[in-house]
């Protein structure tokens, strides 16, 4: 599995360009490609994905989980400091975050919440887990396997895969179930 296909919930420029709402902000993407590369990388980081979810679990807007990383990134920070032009980019961050949360199995609530401790963001959307995607055991299992498949180098992934399959076979055998 290649890194580009490792996570089905990664967000990329193509996702942005093919979304009807996000495509209205294409001018921002065209003017600030480096800031978008950094934004996508930050949001695709597995630790930051968890921070987005954790923020919502603590009744904070998802943005609260990653805003310090977004505002600290040099390429993004420069754009945010541009006054009125930075405002449009902040809106675009919200649109990108919405796409990311959808890929993680969350949907918008229509409610906004305060983003405390941020320099450039004051309010952000709240999200709720979308039962049609998050409660599907098969989807969760496949996402977990995709995550494991992206850890370490090729040899480590093969060894991990063998160990997981051996453990599954042993468990099913102990339970008297076919593998």
Q: Supply the pLDDT for residue 22.
A: 92
**Containing H/E element for 106?**
strand 106-114
Q: Which residue has the higher pLDDT, 135 or 50?
A: 50
pLDDT tens-digit readout, 3-36? 433 446 899 999 999 999 998 999 998 999 999 9
pLDDT greater than 60 at residue 151: yes
pLDDT > 70 fraction of the chain, expressed in percent and rounded: 84
Asked if 43 contacts 78 with a C-beta cutoff of 8 angstroms, the reply is no
Positive or negative torsion for Cα 130, 136, 137, 138: negative
Q: Supply the pLDDT for residue 62.
A: 97
Confidence of residue 142 (pLDDT cuts 50, 70, 90): low
Q: Supply the pLDDT for residue 43.
A: 97
Q: Between vectors from CA 115 to CA 110 and to CA 118, what angle results, nearest 5°? A: 145
Confidence of residue 84 (pLDDT cuts 50, 70, 90): confident
How far is 163 from 159, CA to CA, in rounded Å?
A: 6
Q: Supply the pLDDT for residue 167.
A: 82
DSSP-derived letter for residue 92 is H
How far is 55 from 106, CA to CA, in rounded Å?
A: 13
Under DSSP, is residue 20 helix (H, G, I), strand (E, B) or coil? coil
Q: Which of 8-12, 56-60, 131-135, 142-146 has the highest mean pLDDT?
A: 56-60
Q: Supply the pLDDT for residue 60.
A: 96
How far is 75 from 34, CA to CA, in rounded Å?
A: 6
Q: What value does the mean pLDDT take over residues 155-173?
A: 82
Angle between helices 84-103 and 33-44 (to 10 degrees): 30
Closest CA relative to residue 98, chosen from 22, 33, 30, 42: 22
Q: Is 112 exposed, middle or buried (0-12, 13-18, 19+ CB in 10 A)?
A: middle
How far is 66 from 51, CA to CA, in rounded Å?
A: 6
Q: Supply the pLDDT for residue 2.
A: 38
């Amino acid at each position: 599995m290649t890194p580009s296909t490792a996570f089905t919930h990664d967000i990329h420029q193509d996702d942005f360009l093919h979304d009807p709402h996000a495509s209205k902000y294409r001018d921002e993407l065209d003017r600030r490609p480096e800031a978008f590369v950094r934004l996508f990388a930050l949001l695709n980081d597995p630790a930051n994905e968890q921070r987005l979810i954790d923020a919502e679990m603590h009744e904070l807007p998802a943005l609260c989980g990653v805003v310090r990383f977004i505002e600290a990134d040099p390429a993004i920070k420069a754009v945010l400091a541009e006054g009125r032009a930075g405002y449009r980019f902040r809106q675009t961050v919200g649109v990108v975050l919405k796409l990311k949360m959808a890929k993680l199995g969350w949907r918008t609530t229509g409610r906004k919440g305060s983003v405390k401790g941020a320099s450039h963001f004051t309010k952000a959307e709240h999200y709720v887990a979308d039962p049609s995607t998050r409660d599907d055991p098969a989807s969760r299992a496949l996402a977990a396997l995709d995550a494991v498949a992206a850890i370490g180098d090729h040899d480590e992934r093969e060894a991990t895969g063998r160990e997981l399959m051996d453990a599954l076979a042993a468990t099913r055998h102990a339970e008297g179930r076919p593998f």
